[in-house]
């Protein structure tokens, strides 16, 4: 007989979802009210302001899409890219490939700039592509590649896009809240993220932000946006009408929005810079431990995302067996590799609420012990010591 589902209590150190702060879960469980209730609309206004803070933007259109990050990506492409548009798509992992798919399905033409997986996007190659594509309208890239743990230079790529009269579309699913991201200062035109990474909220929402230049394109496109659900011209009547009124478009995911409001409030209370620093500090602890265990990062140091650590699976060690053991014996989730990196890497996230020294030490200890059990001899105590030494020096 089917019963209520009682999930196990995991420690989520994969690529997301990350552990959710109990305060956020508590907020989510508050009584549902109507999506047009004046009190709810007041909450929506606060949420937009909090999101502007997280993105460091004053863009009026800064709101969560009522669906996961993939729908946020599609919101950007489906609203901006019109049939025949040429789009420079930078690919250095899974999510650049998904951008390509989005461009094609919008009837656009993707001009691919490929960089090795595990590296930051190659800016010179993007410049070459822009020079060779004088009519390109957009440069799309992933700020923080969740599939590889590489961080690209969003400021430089955006500046380059603008030099060539293109708009920059940016995937910040894994960076928002976890590492520096300055939407207005860098001039990013359209950006999307996810709720379940460094915001440490439950999965299911995708914050987006569009500047005026991008919005103008959306408002003036001669062809309709192919998605009714994601058409910002319609969604804005609910989230962002000029006159402050709110018209029904779709029924908002009320409780999920309570949760995001709480998550953003916690981020604001901590302070964005403090959150960035916390993720970096804990990354340095983790790095010290992993290096002591002789484990290699696949991303060069200066291109690494602190919040998502992609490491090479040691020679002779079997991917699934180790992850299953960690999950079953330690309740610890770490992430597998995707695409060509499947079976070759693990992805250790330390995002949002999960980014704390206790988790870092726990992860080093658990992974070290399991590796020892599986025949990879590694000095777990020394690794813990190294991590603690970093912690003490911070």
Site for a copy of itself in 107-136 (CB under 8 A): none
**Residue number with CB closer to a copy of itself (6 or 392):** 6
In 50-70, which positions are buried (b, 16+ CB within 10 angstroms) versus exposed (e)? bbbbbbbbebbbbbbbbbbbb
Which candidate, 176, 177, 185, 178, places its Cα nearest to that of 158?
185
If binding is defined by CB under 8 A, does position 64 make contact with a copy of itself?
Answer: no
Q: How many CB atoms lie within 10 A of CB 94?
A: 18
Of 4 and 377, CB closest to a copy of itself: 4
Q: Do the Cβ atoms of 22 and 353 come closer than 8 Å?
A: no
Query: Which among 113-121, 131-139, 207-215, 224-232 is the span making contact with a copy of itself, rule CB under 8 A?
Result: 224-232
Maximum Cα interatomic distance, the chain, rounded to a whole number of Å: 66
Using the rule CB under 8 A, give the single segment among 96-104, 155-163, 274-282, 359-367 that binds a copy of itself: 96-104
- At its nearest, how many Å lie between a copy of itself and the CB of residue 284? 26
Question: CA 40, CA 156: separation in Å to the nearest integer?
Answer: 39
- State which of positions 282-321 bind a copy of itself (CB under 8 A): none
Q: Which residue from 57, 62, 66, 151 is in contact with a copy of itself, where contact means CB under 8 A?
A: 66
If the CB atoms of residues 130 and 259 are measured against a copy of itself, the closer one turns out to be: 259
Beta bridge partners of 64: 207
- Of residues 188 through 217, those in contact with a copy of itself by CB under 8 A are 194, 196, 202-204
Which C-beta is closer to a copy of itself: that of 41 or that of 284?
41
The residue from 226, 356, 369, 391 that contacts a copy of itself (CB under 8 A) is 226
Tell me how far apart the alpha carbons of residues 267 and 250 are, in angstroms, rounded to a whole number. Answer: 28
Report the nearest approach of a copy of itself to the CB of residue 181 (Å): 20
Return the number of the residue (356 or 372) whose C-beta is nearest a copy of itself: 356
Report in angstroms how near the CB of residue 2 gets to a copy of itself at its nearest: 5
Q: Which residues contact 76 (CB under 8 A, 6 or more apart)?
A: 169, 190, 191, 192, 208, 210
Q: Residue 37 or 329: which CB sits closer to a copy of itself?
A: 37
- Which 230-289 residues touch a copy of itself, going by CB under 8 A? 248-256, 258-259, 261-262, 265, 268
Sheet containing strand 345-349, strands side by side: 11-13, 332-336, 345-349, 308-312
**CB of 235 closer than 8 Å to CB of 300:** no
CA 179 to chain centre: 10
Q: What angle do CA 169, 336, 200 make, to 5 degrees?
A: 60
Please give the residues from 30 up to 59 whose contact with a copy of itself meets the rule CB under 8 A. Answer: 30-35, 37-40, 43, 46, 49-50
CB of 213 to a copy of itself, least distance (A): 25
Q: Which of 12, 167, 267, 360 binds a copy of itself (CB under 8 A)?
A: 12
Bridge partners of residue 11, in order along the sequence? 332
- Contact between 379 and a copy of itself by CB under 8 A: the answer reads no
- For position 369 contacting a copy of itself by CB under 8 A, the verdict is no
Which residues make Cβ contacts (< 8 Å) with residue 180, sequence separation at least 6?
276
């Amino acid at each position: 007989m089917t019963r209520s589902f009682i999930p196990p209590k995991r420690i989520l150190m994969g690529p997301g979802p990350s552990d959710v702060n109990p305060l956020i879960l508590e907020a989510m469980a508050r009584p549902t009210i109507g999506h047009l209730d004046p009190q709810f609309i007041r909450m929506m206004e606060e949420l937009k302001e909090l999101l502007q803070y997280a993105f460091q933007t004053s863009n009026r259109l800064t709101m969560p899409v009522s669906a996961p990050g993939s729908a946020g990506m599609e919101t950007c492409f489906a609203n901006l890219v019109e049939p025949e548009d040429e789009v420079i798509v930078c690919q250095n992992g899974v999510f650049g490939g998904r951008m390509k798919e989005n461009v094609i399905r919008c009837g656009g033409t993707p001009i691919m700039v490929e960089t090795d997986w595990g590296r930051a996007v190659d800016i010179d190659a993007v410049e070459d592509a822009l020079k060779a594509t004088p009519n390109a309208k957009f440069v799309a890239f992933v700020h923080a590649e969740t599939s590889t743990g590489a961080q690209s230079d969003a400021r430089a790529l955006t500046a380059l896009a603008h030099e060539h009269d293109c708009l920059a579309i940016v995937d910040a699913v894994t960076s928002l809240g976890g590492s520096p991201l300055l939407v207005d200062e860098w001039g990013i035109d359209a950006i999307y993220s996810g709720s379940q990474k460094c915001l440490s909220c439950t999965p299911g929402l995708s914050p987006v932000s569009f500047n005026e230049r991008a919005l103008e394109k959306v408002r003036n496109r001669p062809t309709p946006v192919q998605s009714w659900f994601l058409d910002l011209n319609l969604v804005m009547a609910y989230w962002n009408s000029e006159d402050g009124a709110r018209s029904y478009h779709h029924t908002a995911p009320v409780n999920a929005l309570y949760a995001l409001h709480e998550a953003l409030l916690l981020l604001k209370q901590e302070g964005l810079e403090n959150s960035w620093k916390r993720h970096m500090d804990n990354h340095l602890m983790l790095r010290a431990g992993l290096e002591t265990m002789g484990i290699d990062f696949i991303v060069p140091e200066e291109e690494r995302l602190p919040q998502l650590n992609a490491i090479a699976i040691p020679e002779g060690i079997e991917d699934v067996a180790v992850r299953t053991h960690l999950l079953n014996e330690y309740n610890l989730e770490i992430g597998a590799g995707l695409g060509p990196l499947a079976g070759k890497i693990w992805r250790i996230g330390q995002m949002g609420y999960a980014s704390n020294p206790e988790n870092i030490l726990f992860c080093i200890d658990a992974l070290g012990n399991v590796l020892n059990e599986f025949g990879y001899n590694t000095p777990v105590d020394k690794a813990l010591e190294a991590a603690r030494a970093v912690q003490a020096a911070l």
